[in-house]
Amino acid sequence: MDGALLVAGLYIFMLAAFLGFLVVSRVPPLLHTPLMSATNAISAIIVVAAILVTGGRHGTVVTVLGTIAVACAMCNVVGGFLITERMLKMFKKGDGKSEK
Amino acid sequence: MTSHIFTNIVYLISALLFILGLKGLNSPETARRGQKMAALGMTMAIIGTLIQHEVVTYEWIIVGLVIGSIVGIGIAAWTPMTKMPERTALSHAFGALAAALVGVAEYYHGQDLNTVRMSAIGSEVMLGSLTFTGSMMAFGKLQGILPGSPWTYKGQNVFNVSLLAVIALIVIILVFFPSTSFLFYLGLVLALTFGVMLILPIGAADMPTVISILNSYAGISAALLGFALNNKILIIAGALDGASGFILSIIMCRAMNRSFTNVLFGAFGKITPPVDGAAAPEDTGNKQVHSGTPKEAAEIFKNSKSVIIVPGYGMAAAQAQHNVRELADILKAQGTDVKYAIHPVAGRMPGHMNVLLAEANVPYDVLFDMDDINPEFPDADVALVIGANDVTNPAARHDTASPIYGMPILDVDKAKHVMVVKRSMNPGFAGIENELYFNDRTMMVFGDAKTVVGNITKELNDLK
C-alpha cells in the first residue's frame, strides 16, 4: 500500500515539476523578484500540514512545534502574497508622467 | 472519509489555481490577476484543512495563524524595496523552519514510521534544517549583521562534504532503525551546522545565486513533507517552488559563467579575491583614469541623443533609483532616448533592479535584458554605469587570466562615452580591477550615487 502511494506521489511530483519548469521558464527576468516571492507564498502551503499536526492533540511538544510552524508558514502566506501584490502594482507601461 | 474526499477536491482546485497564478507571471499585465487566483487557492486549501475531522483542537492553530498573519502583514507593509533580498532570505528561512518543525513533530509523535515515511521525514527534516540556517546566514550577510566577505579555511570543501555524508548516513540508518531517536536529533543538529558552513564561504555579491538555490531547497523540503504525509497539494506546491528556484539558479549560474555542479556542491567560494594579485593593478598602474565633475558629465549629456543607464547594486545601496529617474526625465524632455540595461545578476537577487526602477516609476518597457540591449551599445552616445562593476568589465571577454573570464557582460565599453558613477576606485567583490575605468572614453564621476546623480541633474537643468 505504501509503495503504491509513493509511486503515485512520485508521478505527481514529476508532472508538477515539469509543469513548473514550463511555466516558470516563460516568466521574463523583469518579474523574477515577484516570481520568487510568489512561489515562496505558494510553497508556504505547508501551513496545511502544520495545522493538521497542531490540531491533532498529540501532546504538548507537538502542539508547541506545530504552533510555531503554523505561525512561520502563515507569515509567508500573508507576507508573500501581499508583498508580491505591492511589487506588481508598481510595474507600469510607458505612458506615465515621465513622458515628454 | 467523506471529509477527506472533500478536502482533496479542494486541494485539487487549489493546485490548479497555483499553476494559473504562476502562469500569470508570464507578463506584467496578467501577473496581478494570477496572484489573486493563487491567493484564493491558498485560502481554500487552509479552510479545507481546518474542517478536516483530524483537527480536534483549534486554539493553538488560531494563535499561530494570527501571529503569522500579523508578522506577515508587518513585513509586507514596511519592507523597503531595496531590502527585498533580505526579506526573501528571511522568508526562505521561515518556510524551511516550518517544514522542519512539522517533520520533527511527525517524528516525535511517531505513528507508523515505515520505510517510505521515515525516508521522507528524515531527508525532509535535514534539508529543511540546513535551508533554515543557510537562509539565516544569507540574511545576516545581506543585512550586514555578518561580514559580507567570504570566510574560507583550509579543507573547507572536504569538511563540508564529509559533514553532508554523515548526515546522509544518519538518514539511511534511521530508515532501517526509526526508533534510534538520538541519531535523529544528532542529524538535526548536524544539518543545522551544515547550513551555516555552506554559506560561510559565500560573498555577499554571490547572493543572487544563493538565494535562488535556497528557494529551490525550501520548495523541495515542502514536497518531501508531502511525501511523508501523503499530502498531494504539498507535493505539487513544493515541486513548483523547487522548479522555480532551480530555473533561477541556472539563469544566475549562466550569468556568472559558473557550472551548475559548481553551485550544487556549494563551492561558491571558488572565486576568491586574489589577495596577492597585485598583477592586474600593476599592469594598469601607468594608465590614466579620467575623472570628471558632475558639470562635465552634464555637458556630455546635453549633447547626447541616446543614453543607456546601467544600474547595479551600488544604486540600491545608495537608494539612488528615484534620482536616476529624475535624470532620465530631464534627458527625455530634451529629446534624448533613455534605456536601461539590466544584467541578470545585478543587485542581490534575481530581478532586483527591475523592482527598484519600477518603484521609482520607470516604465517597464524601457528596461532591457542583457541580450536585447548589448547590440545597442555601439550606437549609444553615453553609457551611464551606476554602482555596477564586474558585469561591465571588458576583461571578461578577452583576459583568460581574469577570474571573471567568460562571464557574459554588458558591452558598455562600446558606447561613445562611458560614465561611471562610483564611490572610489576600490575593486568589486571579485577583487579585480575593471579595465573599463582606464578606457580613454571613460569618465569617472566619484561620489555617492545619489548625490552625484542629483548633482548631474542640477547641472543639466542649469545648462538649459
For chain A, the residue count is 100
Residue B428 has pLDDT above 70, yes or no: no
pLDDT of residue B264: 56
Put simply, the chain B residues between 336 and 375 with a CB less than 8 A from any chain A CB are 342, 344, 349-352, 354-355, 358-359, 361-367, 369
For residue B337, the domain's CATH number is: 3.40.50.1220
The string of pLDDT tens digits covering residues A20-29 is 999 999 999 9
Q: Are B456 and B445 in contact (CB under 8 A)?
A: yes
In a domain, residue B397? The reply is yes
Does B263 lie in the same domain as B304? Answer: no
pLDDT category at B37 given cuts 50, 70, 90 is very high
Does B74 lie in the same domain as B102? Answer: no
In a domain, residue B445? The reply is yes
* pTM for this model (two decimals): 0.90
Does B443 lie in the same domain as B394? Answer: yes
In a domain, residue B131? The reply is yes
pLDDT of residue B317: 85
* Residue B385 CA neighbour count, 13 Å, CB half: 31
pLDDT of residue B242: 95
Whether residues B49 and A52 touch (CB distance < 8 A) is answered with: yes
Tell me how far apart the alpha carbons of residues B164 and B158 are, in angstroms, rounded to a whole number. Answer: 10
In a domain, residue B284? The reply is no
Does B357 lie in the same domain as B424? Answer: yes
Whether residues B351 and A34 touch (CB distance < 8 A) is answered with: yes
In a domain, residue B274? The reply is no
Does B319 lie in the same domain as B425? Answer: yes
Mean pLDDT of B239-268: 80
The string of pLDDT tens digits covering residues B20-29 is 999 999 999 9
The string of pLDDT tens digits covering residues B374-417 is 999 999 999 999 988 888 888 888 888 777 888 899 999 999 99
Does B344 lie in the same domain as B407? Answer: yes
Last residue of some domain: B235, B269, B303? B269
Put simply, the chain A residues between 42 and 61 with a CB less than 8 A from any chain B CB are 42-59, 61
One DSSP character per residue, B172-212 reads: HHHHH-TT-HHHHHHHHHHHHHHHHHHHTT--GGGHHHHHH
Q: Are A54 and B56 in contact (CB under 8 A)?
A: no
Does B226 lie in the same domain as B98? Answer: yes
Does B302 lie in the same domain as B208? Answer: no
Q: For a pLDDT cut of 90, what percent of chain B falls above it?
A: 56
Last residue of some domain: B44, B78, B112? B78
Mean pLDDT of B197-203: 85
In a domain, residue B285? The reply is no
Average pLDDT of chain B to the nearest whole number: 87
Tell me how far apart the alpha carbons of residues A26 and A7 are, in angstroms, rounded to a whole number. Answer: 29
In a domain, residue B288? The reply is no
Q: C-alpha distances in angstroms, B378 versus B206, B252, B285, B307?
A: 29, 26, 27, 11
Tell me how far apart the alpha carbons of residues B421 and B311 are, in angstroms, rounded to a whole number. Answer: 10
Cβ-count burial of B165 within 10 angstroms (0-12 exposed, 13-18 middle, 19+ buried)?
A: exposed
Low-confidence ranges of chain A (pLDDT < 70): 1, 95-100
Does B102 lie in the same domain as B52? Answer: no
Count: domains in chain B: 3
More confident residue, B359 or B3: B359
The residue ranges of DSSP E strands in B303-416, in sequence order, are 306-311, 337-342, 367-369, 382-386
Catalytic (active site) residue B411: no
Does B240 lie in the same domain as B95? Answer: yes
Q: Which residue segment(s) compose the domain that B17 sits in?
A: 1-78
Does B392 lie in the same domain as B340? Answer: yes
Does B426 lie in the same domain as B304? Answer: yes
Q: Which three cell numbers stand for residue A50?
A: 502544520
Last residue of some domain: B78, B113, B141? B78
